[in-house]
Structure 1
Amino acid sequence: MSTVPSYAPAITALTARPLALWKQLRDDLIGIARTHPDAVLASSLAAEDMVVFHAMSIYAPDLQTLTLDTGRLHAQTVQMADTIRQYYQREIHFFRPNPERIQTHVQQHGTHAFYDSVALRKECCQIRKVEPLRRALAGRSAWITGQRREQSASRNELARAEYDAAFGLQKFNPLTDWTHDDVWAVIRGLGIPYNPLHDQGYPSIGCEPCTRAIRPGEDLRAGRWWWEQRDSLECGLHAGNLHDKTNT
């Protein structure tokens, strides 16, 4: 058994519900590591993924973490990689889009074509996010996300474990039943580092030109692709969330 890291949780700081959720997350990750030792966390470096990463670092340290550097992330998000490296003494593996595909797309449609139509926005997401993730997951048997049902209507039937037909492997969503308040109770209670954009009104964080702070009363993902209709707010990484929607 490895030495308990210095950032291991003082779980006595958690009240009953967050404590129960944390213990379930611990058990889920230990089980995932046992049955899928090649599983990887796909992290956006936002709050939910930091909770999963923190738990993984303690209970399933052999599992790896990746993030997609789209070339358009906020500076604060990029800085999180250094924060993680210093705090946890762990590396995150970055996957980046094909520069030639980006150049071709920009030459054909312009630098900010994603504002022009849902189709062009999804094409940009495909180049900058979906294709790099496909490369990152190639040959693996499972991946892990920080998705929650509460985040959007497209996620309200999210399963904790499912087969991801789009990428051809098992997918685990261990925070499925967590609420926004649960996430932050654990972050505050355990002292988990988090993206400073969350303190500036960004509950959901993506690429800089496609993400804004939300206004009072708006849903948690209202700042993502805010110029679109609310039923289109997925980028393609979680295509299964839209399996029964007409706008996929």
Structure 2
Amino acid sequence: MGNQTVQTEEKVWSPEACKAAAEELRNSHPSDILAWAVQQFGPSDLTLACSFGYEDVALVDMLVKLNPDVDIFYLDTGLLFRETYETRDRLAERYQKDFIRVATDLTLEQQAREWGDQLWARDPNQCCYLRKVAPLEKQLNSYRAWITGIRREQSPTRANAEVVEWDTKFQLVKINPLAFWTSEQVWSYIKENEVPYNPLHDRHYPSLGCEPCTRPVKPGEDPRAGRWAGFMKTECGLHK
């Protein structure tokens, strides 16, 4: 794939090309940004990463309506909430879509033997790398662009997100259609389109991750304050 560019049939993508696309698409509706992505990369070179949080289920609805053949995958750490798996199943039934399960070959039992029990409680960075980042890196090798649900409003670490970026970590194009949308806009879309969503959101979980590392958020707290509480950590390492 090269160090700084990815070749499509019609266009060479680079950080500069991504910046130009972002400027052109910044004020577009997320559905239009997704339509642009499908046109640029085609369904075989494009994928959506889905955590089954509310941003991602909105994107699932938009994307399936545009092109149901685009791959949608999720990272299964083996530690997700029961409600997350149930949301996956409801979406699969609603859209007649199979979600690709991406997971490490390292079982929780093997991880405990090698790294000690409950690694997430002692070294969440290492746990996230083993169970999320490494499997994601392998998965993204099959594509030239990926779609995420990150928004500028979510956290300071995402405040500069653009709708199209060059992903220096994974060396491909990264598309964030909701970058400039507010939480209220996403929820309005979900309600207007009757999109199935994770019931944990109704119990004060604005950001969903693994069950041991996620707690409800109190009024006035940062939306991602419930992730890795007690650690100086707000990102799992997927987004840099």
Q: Taking structure 2 as the reference length, what is the TM-score of the superposition?
A: 0.84
1:29 matches 2:30: no
- The correspondence of residues 1-248 of structure 1 with structure 2, limited to 5 A, is 24-37=29-42, 38-99=45-106, 102-116=108-122, 120-229=123-232, 232-238=233-239, 240=240
* Residues 106-115 or 147-156, more deviating: 106-115
Deviations 1:68-99 (A, max 9, x none): 11000000101112101211111110011122
Cα separation, 2, equivalents of 1:108 and 1:26: 44
Deviations 1:27-57 (A, max 9, x none): 1111101111221000001100001110001
8 Å CA contact retained: 1:148, 1:155: yes
For structure 1, the residue ranges without an aligned partner over 5 or more in a row are 1-20, 241-248
8 Å CA contact retained: 1:74, 1:208: yes
User: 3-state SS of the aligned residue for 2:51?
Assistant: coil
Going from structure 1 to structure 2, the CA distance change for 1:22 and 1:181 (only over 3 Å counts) comes to farther
Query: How far did residue 126 of structure 1 move?
Result: 0.6
Query: How far did residue 114 of structure 1 move?
Result: 2.3
Going from structure 1 to structure 2, the CA distance change for 1:178 and 1:170 (only over 3 Å counts) comes to same
Query: How far did residue 60 of structure 1 move?
Result: 2.6
**What percentage of residue pairs aligned between the two structures are identical?**
39
Deviations 1:126-154 (A, max 9, x none): 11101111121113100000000000010
* Residues 105-114 or 66-75, more deviating: 105-114
For structure 2, the residue ranges without an aligned partner over 5 or more in a row are 1-25
Displaced runs of 4+ in structure 1, greater than 3 A?
102-105
Cα separation, 2, equivalents of 1:104 and 1:163: 35
Q: In structure 2, what residue type is equivalent to 1:115?
A: A
Cα separation, 1, equivalents of 2:148 and 2:221: 24
User: 3-state SS of the aligned residue for 2:205?
Assistant: coil
Cα separation, 2, equivalents of 1:148 and 1:176: 4
8 Å CA contact retained: 2:31, 2:177: no
8 Å CA contact retained: 2:205, 2:217: yes
8 Å CA contact retained: 1:164, 1:171: yes
Cα separation, 1, equivalents of 2:127 and 2:67: 34
Cα separation, 1, equivalents of 2:35 and 2:68: 10
Cα separation, 1, equivalents of 2:68 and 2:119: 40
Going from structure 1 to structure 2, the CA distance change for 1:22 and 1:64 (only over 3 Å counts) comes to farther
Count of equivalent residues: 213
Deviations 1:2-36 (A, max 9, x none): xxxxxxxxxxxxxxxxxxx9971121111101111
Q: Taking structure 1 as the reference length, what is the TM-score of the superposition?
A: 0.82
Cα separation, 2, equivalents of 1:105 and 1:22: 45
Cα separation, 2, equivalents of 1:169 and 1:203: 28
Provide the aligned C-alpha RMSD in A: 1.7
